[in-house]
Amino acid sequence: MEKRSTTADEYRKLYYTKSWKQLRVKILTRDSYRCQKCKTALSDGRSNPNSAVVHHKTPHKGNLELFYDPGNLEAVCWKCHSGALQSEEVLGYSTEIGLDGWPTDENHPRFSST
């Protein structure tokens, strides 16, 4: 199992604050409790692929301005968040493939010159 850095452990505490919990509800309401990626209706709880997650579009890494910026937040389902979004964050590019069969992200390694 992956161990988070000490720094990451510190900013994980932000998710338990009253300010975050209020902002989370505001973002879910703004986004009509719909995943902004696959458009599925979001549900409560954590054990469901459609469970609501409020995702930081740009990783905040403890930056409070980014953490609490509504423009940096979007409602997504657990399935999308745990799959494509976290993969993109780790890899540095989207693995989404367009209708033409090519990656949609210009940062995808397929487009790098060797």
Query: Which pair of tokens denotes residue 16?
Result: 């338990």
The full length of the chain comes to 114
Query: Which pair of tokens denotes residue 40?
Result: 């599925």
Residue 54 to residues 33, 99, 112, Cα–Cα distance (Å):
10, 28, 32
| E strand or H helix that includes residue 79 | helix 78-80
User: Which of residues 35 and 99 earns the better pLDDT score?
Assistant: 35
Average pLDDT over residues 66-71: 97
Q: Residue 11 has what pLDDT?
A: 81
Q: In the chain, where are the structural domains located?
A: 6-81
- Lowest pLDDT segment from 33-37, 76-80, 106-110: 106-110
Q: Residue 16 has what pLDDT?
A: 93
pLDDT digit string (tens) for 5-51?
666 677 889 999 999 999 999 999 999 999 999 999 999 887 788 89
Q: Alpha-carbon distance 52 to 10, whole Å?
A: 23
Model-level pTM greater than 0.85? no
